A and B are shown apart, each in its own frame.
Chain A
Amino acid sequence: MEKTQIGLYLCRCHGEIGQTIDLDRLAKAMGNKKGVSVCRIHPAWCSEAGLAVLREDVEEGRVNRVVLAACSPREKEIIFRQAAESAGLNPCLIERCNLREQCAWPHREEPEAAYRKAVNLINMSLARARQAEPLDPLVFPARKAVLVVGAGIAGLSAALDLAAAGVEVTVVEKEAFAGGKVARFYRYFPRFCPPGCGLEYLMAEIRKNPRITIYTLTEVVGLDGGPGNFQVMLRQRPRFVRTEACTACGKCAEVCPAERPQAGPLPVTKKAIYIPEGFAYPLAYALDKEVCRGENCGLCAEACPAHAIDLKAKEREFSLEAGAILWCTGWQPYDAGRLELFGYGRYANVITSLEFEHLALQCGSASGRLLRPADGSPVRRIAFIQCAGSRDVNHLPYCSQVCCTVTLKQVQYVRKLAPEAESYVFYMDLRSTGEYEEMYRRVQEEGMAIFIRGNPAAVEEDPASGCLTILAEDTLAGEPVRLENIDLVVLAIGMRPEPGPESFIENLATWEFPSGHVQCFPFETQRRGLYVAGCAQGPMDVAGTVRSAAGAAMKAMSVISGNFTLPPAVPVVDKNKCDKCKRCMEECPFGAWSWDETQYPAPDLRKCRQCGICEGGCPLGVISLRNFTIKQLTGMIEALDMEFLGRGEPTVVAFLCINDAYPAADLAGRQGLSFPPNILTIPVPCAGAVNMSVVVEALTAGADGVLVGGCPSDQCHYRKGSDLAETRLNNVRETLERMLVEPERVRLVRLQADDRHLFVMEAKRFVAALRALGPSPLKP
């Protein structure tokens, strides 16, 4: 190996550092440390002049590793990285030492302490730099192809967006027809147009586009690989009708003797071989095997002039490769049968809002009059019950966002299909957000419904007439309400996710919908390269669905356009020491681990997010992220002078999560808040990346206290890192207590990125507590 030649570059930062820390003295003290070949001071290393010196040192072979004692590693990264690269130095060999935000600025009033802390910080950086490895980003070839699961509005519009960007798109739909829920709606809010219109437009574009292939009756049965190249196993159930040949003339259905219950509240019979009302894509009949009388009957096949029917068709499995996957499986209505007090399932005239769409579609395209499901008599009085099973901890705890607007739309159906009828709406709060408020206003102004604030307590039926009575309390008037002679009750039910993705991904979200962090990573799932869109991501209207689809398509583009690259800080297992305890497999939030062919745990680098939680959890300390190794951390601790501020002054080693806690400390410095110089920070990828043996190492090497800075429990970027850190630290504390060492010496703080005041307060309090405790009994 090449001899280590570290260039130590001390930065005055135009006085920001130089005024507080005596850099000439520092250069003298540090310039002849082991491995340091060059030690220089500059007013600003990030300036053109500074970078030129740095580049020349590298190019002339004086330096093959760089320690930049300057600003925070979070600043100017690209500038230094590019300078190093242009001089032929691998950027992983630049080590940043934070002398500005976390030394000169916060300790402006104590230059001597700042100087001594700087010595320690540089010693740590030198120790880390000595063991740094040159690494290159990982590059995975990516297929410019995307699999879209679900052909609702979300799936279809994402497919179009992707195809327009030159991507090969395969859409799989589990039903026989594409379009999703809206295909069976009567009208769309807010414009009151037929959904078939929008769907027809989408399909016309899709038909024209040779890059999009749609498979109906198809589901994903297996998933392997990762971003760039997933291998997907698909199973396609037979349609028994060859779509290419079928002309949708309907001769088959005319002769078919088997009947099929039709989705929708009105008892309309359909045949076993059928095509849906309204929008149908593909425009070809499909045979429902459940009700078909089988090959022995065969009447349809005989009747078909196009010979399109094949009653012997078999299920088939096939596989394909995709660079990314969009999960657009949409929503399911909440099970209204669980709302006993509203009588759903018992009374024929109590239906859900989704069924009301079907009813309106049926009635609208037949007589044009709204009829009761029970007996087909005209509807004269109708009541809508909002939040049916929503915003209720016993059912769906959340608001599905669309149900109020849906009702505002559906009372207009009543106006259109039963102009004489009266509509009543029971509600808790009416939530017509954004431009939908206009619909609310119109419905009120035109007197289309009477609004009663109150959640009904019961719905009762008069069995003779099929009419319903609603009992409620009008909470505005403060009096009980009894509405009789109601022909139809519509339950505005909420949305749940369609089941499916959980066989391939663990849901990391805080609710049933498998979306990622709401604001930061809304499309992400546990599995990189697999994104959710539309109502699979959460309840939303069609406008939101289209936006969501475009967003998720963009996410997919990010992994399939060109090669898919990842930073090189991946975990490596020392197989010689691993005893296969499997803790890494258990604790990795992204399910990245499995057994390799030698029966040792190995991470799938494409699933790994490089959080280091495995490194933190490994009981034997044999997992390390590259360039964040346990060996490096140990070296850094050993390099410390644990009495740098003099006897009696505590030394604290602080491991701060780079996402939030470390920025909070930086911010404290930037804003000129001072915190005790006793704190020596080490940035870590996640609080969960800190192995307890490193914490113990710091204590037994003489630190008086160890601070671990993580995120608040529900804000950890890696979901459970800071909670794992807490559990692990609590175990250490308990052991310390048994050893008669004060457990308070080990502490977890949870900080958000802007919690600078909290950081300062915690730091002061911790140092004061340690001072009161006196030197650690574990000090050598």
Chain B
Amino acid sequence: MPPKVNLEKCDGCKAEQEPLCEQICPGDLMTLNPETKKAYCRSLRDCWDCMSCVKSCPQGAIETRLPYQIGYYQAKLIPLMGTNRITWTCIDLNGKVERFSFKTRND
């Protein structure tokens, strides 16, 4: 299920013409609403749920809902990016929480 942008948190990446979510989306689906200057996904059907935009958003403004094949609505997968580490929180339909942490950089 495609990304949902929290309009309170999204700041349109400030002056950026192409916000970070737009830059990173492999399907070129994220873009800015010219009026509100907030991001949205312009073709919900085409989203692959790769979560690149979620990880890239500096404001933590994007959330994805999991595709139904993986988990029904209310299940969530949320990444949190540190400098050397990414931590995923997975909350399933019943509210059960699991977390996974990975090193992303080894320099």
Chain A residues within CB distance 8 Å of chain B? 579, 581-583, 585-587, 617, 619, 621, 630-631, 633-634, 638, 691-694, 696-701, 731-732, 734-736, 738-741, 777-778, 780
Contacts and interface: CB of A to CB of B under 8 A. Distances in A.
A532 B99 CA distance: 56
B16 A621 contact: no
A619 B87 contact: no
B38 interface: no
Given A579-B20, A738-B78, A780-B101, A697 B84 contact: yes
Nearest to A618: B58
B70 interface: no
A665 B18 CA distance: 42
B33 interface: no
B59 to A, nearest CB: 5
B16 A581 contact: yes
A778 B85 CA distance: 12
A730 to B, nearest CB: 8
A414 to B, nearest CB: 57
B76 to A, nearest CB: 7
B6 interface: yes
A778 B87 contact: yes
Contact of A738 (B58, B76, B101): B76
Contact of B80 (A579, A585, A638, A735): A735
In order of increasing CB-CB distance, the 8 nearest A-B pairs are A619-B58, A697-B82, A735-B60, A586-B14, A739-B89, A696-B82, A634-B83, A697-B83
B20 A700 contact: no
Contacts of B14: 581-583, 586-587
26 contacts: A581-B14, A581-B16, A581-B19, A582-B13, A582-B15, A583-B14, A587-B14, A619-B57, A619-B58, A621-B83, A633-B83, A638-B84, A693-B82, A696-B80, A696-B82, A699-B82, A700-B85, A701-B82, A701-B85, A731-B61, A734-B9, A735-B78, A735-B80, A739-B80, A739-B89, A778-B101
Contacts of A582: 13-16
Contacts of B47: none
B13 A583 contact: yes
B81 interface: yes
Q: Is the interface of A mostly helix, strand, loop or mixed?
A: helix
Interface residues of B, number: 31
Contacts of A633: 83
A594 to B, nearest CB: 13
Interface string B19-45: 110010000000000000000000000
B1 interface: no
Best-surrounded residue of B59, B82, B101 (most CB of chain A within 10 A): B82
B89 A583 contact: no
A700 B63 contact: no
Nearest to B59: A731
A579 B59 CA distance: 16
Interface in B59-107: 59-61, 63, 76, 78, 80-85, 87, 89, 91, 97, 99, 101, 107
Contact of B56 (A617, A619, A699): A619
B87 A777 contact: no
Contacts of B84: 634, 638, 697
Contacts of B101: 700, 778, 780
B99 A778 contact: yes
Given A587-B14, A731-B59, A738-B76, A579 B82 contact: no
A176 B101 CA distance: 71
Nearest to A740: B97
Interface of B: 6, 9, 13-16, 19-20, 23, 56-61, 63, 76, 78, 80-85, 87, 89, 91, 97, 99, 101, 107
A583 B82 contact: no
Nearest to B77: A739
A380 to B, nearest CB: 62
A696 B15 contact: no
B15 A734 contact: no
A731 B20 CA distance: 16
B16 A734 contact: no
Contacts of A621: 83
A579 B23 contact: yes
A739 B85 CA distance: 16
Contact of B13 (A581, A638, A693, A696): A581
Contacts of A579: 20, 23
Given A630-B83, A696-B81, A700-B82, A586 B56 contact: no
A581 B58 CA distance: 10
A579 B83 CA distance: 17
Contacts of B99: 777-778
Contacts of B20: 579, 581, 619
Contacts of B83: 621, 630-631, 633-634, 691, 693-694, 696-697
A203 B13 CA distance: 54
A583 B6 CA distance: 19
Nearest to B11: A727
A419 to B, nearest CB: 65
A738 B90 CA distance: 11
A734 B13 contact: no
B85 A734 contact: no
A705 to B, nearest CB: 15
Given A583-B58, A700-B80, 4 more contacts: A631-B107, A696-B80, A697-B83, A735-B78
Contacts of A696: 80-83, 85, 87
Contacts of A583: 13-14, 16, 58
A731 B81 CA distance: 13
Contacts of A735: 60, 78, 80
Contact of A734 (B60, B87, B91, B107): B60
Contacts of A778: 80, 87, 99, 101
A582 B16 CA distance: 6
B9 A739 contact: no
Contacts of B82: 634, 693-694, 696-701
A540 B20 CA distance: 48
A736 B89 CA distance: 10
A741 B101 CA distance: 15
A147 to B, nearest CB: 31
A131 to B, nearest CB: 11
Nearest to B81: A693
A741 B91 CA distance: 12
A732 B60 CA distance: 7
